[in-house]
Amino acid sequence: MNISRGPGQAPKYQRLAADLRRRIAAGEWQGEAALPVEAELEMQYGVARNTVRLAVDVLVNEGLLIRVQGKGTFLKDRSVLDHHAYRSPSEPWPGDSLARPSEVYTEEAQAAGRKLTADFEMLIVRARTDIADRLGLRPGEAVVVRRMLRLLDGEPWSIEESHFAAGLAAGTPLMEPDPVDGGDEAVLGDIGRVEVGAVDHLSARMPGPEEAQWFQAGPGVPLMVQTRATYDTRGPVRVIETRYSADRSRLRYGLGTPVVR
């Protein structure tokens, strides 16, 4: 392919990126195979190393390729784990359709032949304004954050943070720096705050530096953010913000009357 630049043409590096994209789509390299090394691409296309890197940058930022220093440039693998974020109330399933004790995650992973582990942290912070809003608190009020860091086959998968008003958590096991058997909803049940409804907000964005580090997310891998505000008959109970590495997860919502398949 000739990528010399004429007038009215796209820049070289973009044309090079397009050609590499085409060769990838054509299956020239399979699986997680390595691409030709940069020096080889320089020669194949007769361009400077800089131009090769600009082109590969494009595909890396699209999430198609990953670069590994000292090894090479590789096709990126994409295998996702579905998570049931919600089931229709009538879908047969042990427990509530809003509840999500840790066992749910473990089971989903096992069903997919994969292994899910988790770390736990508890912290007390001043609420972000959007969280305070949804909990019905004044801005800057203290909230208890219970954070679950989930790993899939040892790779970072999601960060789940449950936010409780300090008043609600006081005097309960939610103040302890340990996960609770049966999930936090067990505690909520004990104090008569059974969640009956929720509103989820879903968005996506690129990770910040700390997030990119924890998720081991290179360029081209967005985060998917699920923010769930739950309610009982008295009012707001908690806000759960869960961040997923988008290249490893997909969320599923069962809506309306479930259909047997």
Q: Which residues bind a second copy (CB under 8 A)?
A: 18, 21, 61-63, 80, 82, 85-86, 88-89, 97-98, 195-209, 219-220, 222-224, 231, 235, 246-247, 249-259
Under rule CB under 7 A, residue 202 binds DNA: no
Residue 55 or 159: which CB sits closer to DNA?
55
Q: Rounded to 5 degrees, what angle do the CA atoms 162, 213, 79 make?
A: 80
Smaller CB distance to a second copy: residue 5 or 252? 252
Nearest C-alpha neighbor of 161 from the set 145, 177, 174 = 145
Q: Which stretch binds DNA (CB under 7 A): 3-11, 106-114, 123-131, 156-164?
A: 3-11
Spacing of C-alpha 228 from chain mean position: 15
Choose the one of a second copy, DNA, none that binds residue 13, judging by a C-beta under 5 to 8 angstroms depending on kind: DNA
For a second copy, the closer CB: 21 or 23: 21
Q: Do 228 and 144 form a contact (C-beta atoms < 8 A)?
A: no
Extract the tokens encoding 115: 């292994």
Nearer to DNA by C-beta: 71 or 126? 71
Burial classification of residue 110, based on how many CB atoms lie within 10 Å of its CB (0-12 exposed, 13-18 middle, 19 or more buried): exposed
12-71 positions binding DNA, by CB under 7 A: 12-14, 35, 37-39, 46-51, 53-54, 67-71
Distance (Å, whole) CA 213 – CA 191: 38
Taking the least distance from each CB to DNA, the nearer of 154 and 256 is 154
Distance CA 203, CA 219 (A): 18
Q: How far is the CB of 150 from DNA (least distance, A)?
A: 25
Q: Which does 97 bind (CB under 5 to 8 A by kind): a second copy, DNA, none?
A: a second copy
68 to 107: interface string for DNA, x by CB under 7 A: xxxxxx----------------------------------
CB of 30 to DNA, least distance (A): 17
> What is the distance between the alpha carbons of residues 141 and 128, in angstroms, rounded to a whole number?
9
Q: In this structure, is the dihedral angle defined by the CA atoms of residues 181, 183, 119 and 115, taken in order, positive or negative?
A: positive
- 80 touches 67 (CB < 8 A): no
Tokens of 222: 């967005």
Tokens of residue 51, six digits: 């131009």
Of 5 and 252, the one with the shorter C-beta distance to DNA is 5
Q: Is 1 in the site for DNA (CB under 7 A)?
A: no
What is the C-alpha to C-alpha distance for residues 199 and 55, in angstroms, rounded to an integer?
A: 42
Residues that bind DNA (CB under 7 A): 5, 7, 11-14, 35, 37-39, 46-51, 53-54, 67-73
